[in-house]
Structure 1
Amino acid sequence: MKVMKTLNYIIFLLLLFCVPAAAEAASSLQAKIDAAPNGSKIEIEEGKYEEKIVISKPLFLVGTGKVTLYSCDGGPVITISGKAVRLKNIEVEHCGNEKEDAAVYVTGSNHTLEELEIKTNRFGIRLNQADGVTIRNSKIVGSNTGNGIDLWQSNRSHIEKLMISNMTDGIYLEQSNRNSLKRNNIQHSRYGIHLMFSNGNVLEKNVSRDNTTGAMVMGSKQNVVSNNKFLFNHNNVNAQGLLIYTASYNEIKGNDIISNRVGVYAERSENNRIESNKIMNNFIGIQFKKANKNEATQNTFIGNVNDAHAIESPHNQINENYWDASSKVDMNGDGKSEISFAADPYFQTLTNDVPEYQLFFHAPGLIVIQNLLKSPVDQLLTDTAPLMDMTSEMEKEVSSNSSLWIMSACMIASSFILYLLGRRRG
């Protein structure tokens, strides 16, 4: 009997200490969050946690080592509300397939999310009526079925130094104003950056490449798009480096718009300023359609198959740009050619009516017809004072690229000569 009593006592102690510990381990992160006082720091031990968490008070959650939170259930893996929540050094894996799901869902204000690595089947981070949120130094990879960063009625946020790939839109803003998007790198998505009815935002020093469209500004005003790189957005018949649609009073300045199908495309847009951009190696450099009262100045157009097209866009100010295809005569030494540069939209108008005519692009017969049947003067995009020379910075860059090509050609030629000599000796 004594042995049985002792055994029962040991079993009771084991159940008393082990079962609560196991129950706590099953929901340890949420339990720690619920128990933590406002403003405290929670260090998450290295490991993989199949758990969804909700944070509604000011806390600092930081992973120590490799910390992964994952869930394939509906709803966000991490939900943040209230004020001043901070997340750092956490991996989030979202494998759910609900249409509006996100790996991280944020409302409230003044939160900071940094050094996150997100893999998602839908959205990466969604901001819904969230203000003053900072997201930086993070990576988001998707499956092209949701946006990387999605802002809805969210203002004054800072989105910096993100790597985003394989999303529907890399960064999407709708009815979201005065946000800052800087030094982000976005690839293999539909739109790299997409502004919808969003005003006063700053897009600076981002790289958007290998997307359908590098950036789109639609129905938006007073945004600054400066010193970005829109590159190699050409793998679609509707691809552009920068698309401006029904937008006005935006400043497009100092961007590298290179190797896109269309460099800058503006439609039904007014009073935008396009200044000091490098528009290079695109199929069409700049294209206006029913776009008027815009200004394009001090831009450099080099190596584009077509420098410019304009359809039903007679009232734009196109002055003092450098066109490598223009005739250049400077009689008074002011650095501007006395010969205007005009871009005839004849081919574009023709292919709009009969798309199959694109097969005859640059065919000798079509060029003769275009010269004989010129478009009306009011349909031409005309630079009345094209620049004689590129800026010194541009000249250095172009000469550097030319030197590289010449060096490569010389190396190929040398290799070929050595190959022939070797064959002769043999």
Structure 2
Amino acid sequence: MKIMRYILFLLISAFFMPGVSEAASILQTEIDGAPNGATIEIKEGEYEETVVISKPVTLEGKGKVLLRSCETDPVVTIRNKGVTLKNIKVEHCGDEKEDSAIYVTGSNHILKGLNIKTKQIGIKLDNAHGVTIHDSKIDGINRGNGLDLWKSNRNTFDKLTINNVADGIYLEQSNENTLRRNNIQDSRYGMHLMFSDDNIIDDNISRFNTTGTELMESKRTVISNNQFSSNHNSVNAQGLLIYLASDTRVTGNEFVSNRVGIFIEKAENNHLDSNKIMDNFTGVQFLKSNGNKVVNNTFVGNVNDAQAIESSNNQLNRNYWDAASKVDVNGNGESEIVYTADPYFLTLTADIPEYQLFFQAPGIILLQNMLKSPADQLLVDSAPLMNMTMKVKKEASSNFSLWIISAMMILASFSLFIFGRKRR
């Protein structure tokens, strides 16, 4: 009898309560019924729903609004022209490789104030043009890209925070986009451009990634006023990788504490001007690259300033090198002593890593002067500058640590000397 009453209660509840499919269609019904140009305000709450916006309306969250879905479809799909989406948190737990939290196609859309959590792609732009995305955050689990562009041109991405994704911002066959004031970290590539031309990368921070930024077969990219730092957690890590790319302008950037500051491979006619290249293992490295220019840069505290392998006609001129001998006879701000960047120490430690302990040791310097590296690996600055082109602020703790390391090495040397004599 009790079982029959329980079943009857369930049937009555199912009849009078709205079904899941009906509840899930609340937002979509409002969107479909709104006229062009309308603003649809979403009340505070959590919505297990996917929505499609195909007309010029504004969808705006009021208070804490969460849209969540684990389906293969995006949580939000934006099409056609003139959609605005703002002040919404989006969570997508779909696990398929091509899943995305937000899918955008069409033109002239605005996405603002979004907080996205995703297992795969954060925002996918597919043939999307003139789209603006700003003041938003994307968190992933190192699987998909934060922003993923395919054949999407003239878009602007400004003040985005992107963490723990595969590539922070990935462009493929996408031209004339502007990436500005974004902060990307703990990812594979901060920004990754493939077969994409005439893009601007300005005033971004890319740190703790495998590679700060990579350009591959891309032309006329402008990279200015960015900070590429602490990209050193892999044997293949670098601040900036220019691969098979040309006519790149790299100016006013900071490359600090990377494994390689700037790696130029199979690339021609790229211009590096007025950058700070500091505390990297290798400052600038050329591999099979010709006809590039490195001028007016500041090289400070790098283990190895520059290296060239199978590269020729790369012009180094008027750079500041802290390792250079400097004599200015005529007072023009240029040293009369030519500076030669010899990667002897780097070549030596590549074969025997333990030799890194002898960095700047007198014996190593003597060997480097006696046993020159091959001519194709030497980079020569005929007019090194007397003064830095960019301000360098050294941390006091860095100098203190250097003194501690030096003291430990001296004590170790004395210990070996004393114990060695006792055994005899």
Q: TM > 0.5 between the two?
A: yes
Match for 1:172 among 147, 170, 173? 170
Amino acid aligned to 1:151 = L
Q: CA deviation at 1:38?
A: 1.5
Amino acid aligned to 2:240 = L
Q: Distance in 2 between matches of 1:366 and 1:22?
A: 74
Query: Alignment identity in percent?
Result: 59
- Equivalent residue, structure 1, for 2:241: 243
- Contact 2:24–2:47 under 8 Å retained in 1: no
CA deviation profile, 1:226-267 (whole Å, cap 9, x unmatched):
000001111111110111111100100000110111111101
Amino acid aligned to 1:339 = I
- Contact 1:314–1:380 under 8 Å retained in 2: no
- Equivalent residue, structure 2, for 1:206: 204
Amino acid aligned to 1:361 = Q
TM-score (norm 1): 0.86
- Contact 2:307–2:377 under 8 Å retained in 1: no
- Equivalent residue, structure 2, for 1:287: 285
Q: CA deviation at 1:36?
A: 1.2
Q: Distance in 2 between matches of 1:60 and 1:333?
A: 63
Amino acid aligned to 1:329 = V
Verify: 1:357 aligned to 2:365, yes or no. Answer: no
CA deviation profile, 1:13-71 (whole Å, cap 9, x unmatched):
x999x667987533100111111112211001111000111111111000011110011
Verify: 1:130 aligned to 2:121, yes or no. Answer: no
- Equivalent residue, structure 2, for 1:222: 220
Matched residue of 1:263: which SS?
strand
Aligned runs of 1:258-407 on 2, under 5 Å? 258-349=256-347, 355-361=350-356, 363=358, 367-391=365-389, 394=391, 397-398=392-393, 401=394
Amino acid aligned to 2:123 = I
Q: Distance in 1 between matches of 2:184 and 2:17?
A: 48
Amino acid aligned to 1:358 = P
CA deviation profile, 1:163-189 (whole Å, cap 9, x unmatched):
000000000001100000000000100
Q: CA deviation at 1:194?
A: 0.5
Matched residue of 1:361: which SS?
helix
- Equivalent residue, structure 2, for 1:77: 75
- Equivalent residue, structure 1, for 2:30: 32
Count of equivalent residues: 388
Verify: 1:61 aligned to 2:59, yes or no. Answer: yes
CA spacing shift, 1:42–1:362, aligned 2, 3 Å: same
Q: Distance in 1 between matches of 2:234 and 2:21?
A: 53
Q: CA deviation at 1:94?
A: 0.4
CA spacing shift, 1:306–1:246, aligned 2, 3 Å: same
Amino acid aligned to 2:153 = N
TM-score (norm 2): 0.87
Matched residue of 1:34: which SS?
helix
Q: Distance in 2 between matches of 1:343 and 1:370?
A: 11
- Equivalent residue, structure 2, for 1:5: none
CA spacing shift, 1:407–1:341, aligned 2, 3 Å: closer
Amino acid aligned to 1:170 = G
Q: Name structure 2 gaps, 5 residues minimum.
A: 1-11, 403-424
Amino acid aligned to 2:256 = I
- Contact 2:66–2:89 under 8 Å retained in 1: yes
- Contact 1:157–1:179 under 8 Å retained in 2: yes
CA deviation profile, 1:256-280 (whole Å, cap 9, x unmatched):
1101111111011110000000001
Q: CA deviation at 1:140?
A: 0.2
Amino acid aligned to 1:51 = E
Q: Distance in 1 between matches of 2:357 and 2:294?
A: 26
Q: CA deviation at 1:370?
A: 3.5
Q: CA deviation at 1:372?
A: 2.7
